[in-house]
Amino acid sequence: MKCGLVAADGAVLHRETRSTPRALPPSGGGGRAVLDALLETVVELSQKAAADGHRVRAVGVVVPGIIDAEQGTVSAENLLWVNTPVRAEIQAALGPDHQVHLAHDVRAGGYAELRQGALRGTTNSLFLPLGTGIAAAMVVDGSLVSGDGYAGELGHTRFVHGEAAELCACGQYGCLETVASAAALARRYGARTGRVVDGAREVLELLAEGDADAAIVWDEALTALIDALVLYTTLVAPTRIAIGGGLVGAGETLLAPLRAGVHERLTFQREPEIVAAELGEEAGCLGAALLAWDRVTVDESGEQTE
Amino acid sequence: MKCGLVAADGAVLHRETRSTPRALPPSGGGGRAVLDALLETVVELSQKAAADGHRVRAVGVVVPGIIDAEQGTVSAENLLWVNTPVRAEIQAALGPDHQVHLAHDVRAGGYAELRQGALRGTTNSLFLPLGTGIAAAMVVDGSLVSGDGYAGELGHTRFVHGEAAELCACGQYGCLETVASAAALARRYGARTGRVVDGAREVLELLAEGDADAAIVWDEALTALIDALVLYTTLVAPTRIAIGGGLVGAGETLLAPLRAGVHERLTFQREPEIVAAELGEEAGCLGAALLAWDRVTVDESGEQTE
């Protein structure tokens, strides 16, 4: 659990990481245990803020799950939450005068990149973290596109065709995520070679050492990513694309061929800058706080800063 | 040239069609002749409005070309316009107190469908006219997405792969437009059979008569269109998609298989309604007027209606 205290201007006052209790049986304490840990964190951070002379005005929570913003509930398989009333529980713990904003993790990360990271200054751009999975945060006309929580699933669009298309966890075939996520790189290298590797990191090390199978798996990922970036550019015309997630640790090994491939494919389209995201693993946490502050601005006029 | 007089509430007070003078040599009068015909139309319609007791407050012009909204200029190959100062010319003809709004034809049509047609009441939707070419007007969070004029080129995204992919006029291969536009249906039927047909209309007639080649060409178009709608749904999550352009004249022959194909392919995504656009060929003209009225609302407060 990444958490922190963030001032109205986006300055990070405090940052910490806590362990999330196991939810799943046999050893886990169920969804309630996770929720209790969240509430404890919120209360303790609020007390810490008070001790430091600040007052918590709003709480932002980012969860890898399905958020019902209207009801303030979250469903998340791994946490054993089913329509769990996270907003009401936080307000019961801190008091009803606290704004609570629940958000999608990738969109929150994209919002942080937009406000304080690699997408700063753009009005039409894309945040594309390549991690265990792939989702995207789309910035259009200066705002994040939510699509009622459904938008941005670039990882689940088809970029592998014919017999090479694998079944994705989402039930579709040939999704970008099946070939270009960090998890896919490790799985596909293993499938080719029969050798179990320690994640995408090891595939990248093998690639650097000149391993031919690693090169093939990497090229297939790049081909699909270039297709995806060309498609997004043709449809939404971003001026900048920030690649994030674990894979961007590969640096120019990833970014240089993406730039070259996109440049070569575009004809009439406007070419986007392709850059590394700046905020790393902190993006989601910071974005949650910034989104929560936005609610304070919306709901109260004037007195915004502490 | 489709033109008309539209009240602030979107009511069409007058509608007419005028011929556009030829621009291209040898018989054409160049870009100036087209511009003069446009100015004559604007002045005469303004006079007609006055005779009917109305006053023209704003002019909307929709052109199949590249619009520089800031400079008020248009470049359009077929009209022999190169950075032609359309806004300044109209203001010189009518007086500088007239708002002039230049817009992209498909986005103007989409705006009309959003305000008064098949997309009314939606905040996240798509207008996809299938005509000689294919472009799309994307509605996100209640507004048309422009991407500085570059967005919405769904017709130029790749949905035909491998050896079947044809070179598109845009310079890319396998674009939706190469297989699913009205022009592509006629061209591809001709290429299969060696028989010259009178446009997509004749291909649809042959399809209805059970012609096997027409069925193949039609199925290839449907497959690519279903791919495109699934992709757009996965990425942007529209609640409704309105198909327009000449091909929607095929009615349920087009819409029923699109609905069935999209339904079958979606797994976790929100399924959009797929409907026929309502405003037909008038959409662009009406949209131009509605966009022009919006500028009046933005630039003057209060006194909006006539």
Q: What is the pLDDT of residues A202-238, one digit of tens each?
A: 999 999 999 999 999 999 999 999 999 999 999 999 9
Q: How far apart are CA B20 and CA B306, in angstroms?
A: 30
Contact, A41 vs A18, CB < 8 A? yes
3-state SS assignment for residue A206: helix
What is the β-pairing status of strands A143-144 and A137-140?
antiparallel
Q: How far apart are CA B240 and CA B243, in angstroms?
A: 10
Instruction: Please tell me the distance in Å from B230's CA to the nearest CA on chain A.
Output: 8
- Considering only CA atoms, which of B139, B144, B125, B152 is closest in space to residue B275? B125
Query: Using N-to-C axis directions, what is the helix angle for A182-193 and A199-208, rounded to 10°?
Result: 60
Query: Sheet holding B81-84: strands in order across?
Result: B66-68, B73-76, B81-84
Contact, A47 vs A14, CB < 8 A? no
Contact B235 A141 (CB under 8 A): no
Contact A154 B267 (CB under 8 A): no
Instruction: Please tell me the distance in Å from A27's CA to the nearest CA on chain B.
Output: 30
* pLDDT tens sequence across B133-190: 999 999 999 999 989 888 999 999 999 999 999 999 999 999 999 999 999 999 999 9
**Looking at chain B, which residue has its C-alpha nearest residue A264?**
B172
> CB burial class (10 A; 0-12, 13-18, 19+) of residue A293?
buried
Q: What is the pLDDT of residue A295?
A: 87
Domain boundaries defined on chain A: 2-104+284-299, 118-278
Q: How far apart are CA B144 and CA B59, in angstroms?
A: 19
Q: How far apart are CA A106 and CA A247, in angstroms?
A: 15
Contact, B243 vs B109, CB < 8 A? no
The C-alpha angle with vertex B79 and arms to B284 and B290, in degrees rounded to 5, equals: 20
* pLDDT tens sequence across A30-68: 889 999 999 999 999 999 999 999 999 999 999 877 888
Q: How far apart are CA A255 and CA A95, in angstroms?
A: 46
What percentage of residues in chain B have a pLDDT greater than 90?
81
- Residue numbers in A near B269 (CB within 8 A): 150, 153, 156
Runs of H (alpha helix) within chain A = 30-51, 86-94, 105-116, 177-180, 182-193, 199-208, 212-236, 252-265, 283-299
Q: Tell me which residue has tokens 């998609």.
A: B241
pLDDT for B285 beyond 70: yes
Q: Which of A66, A123, A146, A150 to mutate to test the interface with B (most CBs of B within 10 A)?
A: A150
Same fold, B2-107+283-299 and B122-278: yes
Runs of H (alpha helix) within B147-211 = 177-180, 182-193, 199-208
- Residue numbers in B near A157 (CB within 8 A): 231, 234-235
Contact A161 B161 (CB under 8 A): yes
Contact B156 A268 (CB under 8 A): yes
Q: What is the pLDDT of residue B96?
A: 84
pLDDT for A259 beyond 60: yes
Contact B152 A235 (CB under 8 A): yes
Q: Which residues of A touch B (CB under 8 A)?
A: 124, 136, 138, 140-141, 143, 145-148, 150-154, 156-158, 161-162, 170-172, 227, 230-232, 234-238, 265, 267-270
Instruction: Please tell me the distance in Å from A167's CA to the nearest CA on chain B.
Output: 12
**Looking at chain A, which residue has its C-alpha nearest residue B156?**
A234
- Among B145, B235, B238, beta carbon nearest to A153: B235
* pLDDT tens sequence across B229-238: 999 999 999 9
Contact, B166 vs B179, CB < 8 A? yes
Q: Tell me which residue has tokens 């081909």.
A: A223
What percentage of residues in chain A have a pLDDT greater than 70?
97
Q: How far apart are CA B216 and CA B189, in angstroms?
A: 9
Q: What class has domain A2-104+284-299?
A: alpha beta
Residue type for position B108:
A
CATH no. of B122-278: 3.30.420.40
Q: What is the mean pLDDT of chain B?
A: 92
Q: What is the pLDDT of residue A306?
A: 34
Instruction: Please tell me the distance in Å from B197's CA to the nearest CA on chain A.
Output: 30
Contact B141 A138 (CB under 8 A): no
Contact A148 B237 (CB under 8 A): yes
What tokens does A221 get?
Answer: 């990922």
Q: What is the pLDDT of residue A24?
A: 78
Q: What is the pLDDT of residue B234?
A: 97
- Considering only CA atoms, which of A302, A100, A136 is closest in space to residue A225? A136
Contact, B95 vs B44, CB < 8 A? no
3-state SS assignment for residue B297: helix
Q: Cis before residue A257, ω within 30 degrees of 0?
A: no
Torsion of CA A269, A273, A275, A280, to 10 degrees: -80
The C-alpha angle with vertex A136 and arms to A135 and A142, in degrees rounded to 5, equals: 160
Query: Where are any strands of DSSP class E within B216-255?
Result: 240-244
**Domain spanning B2-107+283-299: CATH superfamily:** ATPase, nucleotide binding domain (3.30.420.40)
Q: Which of A161, A168, A235, A262 to mutate to test the interface with B (most CBs of B within 10 A)?
A: A235
Count the Cβ atoms, other than its own, within 10 Å of residue A254.
21
- Among B150, B156, B269, beta carbon nearest to A150: B269
Q: Tell me which residue has tokens 């690699």.
A: A118
- Residue numbers in B near A145 (CB within 8 A): 140-141, 236
**Domain spanning A118-278: CATH superfamily:** ATPase, nucleotide binding domain (3.30.420.40)
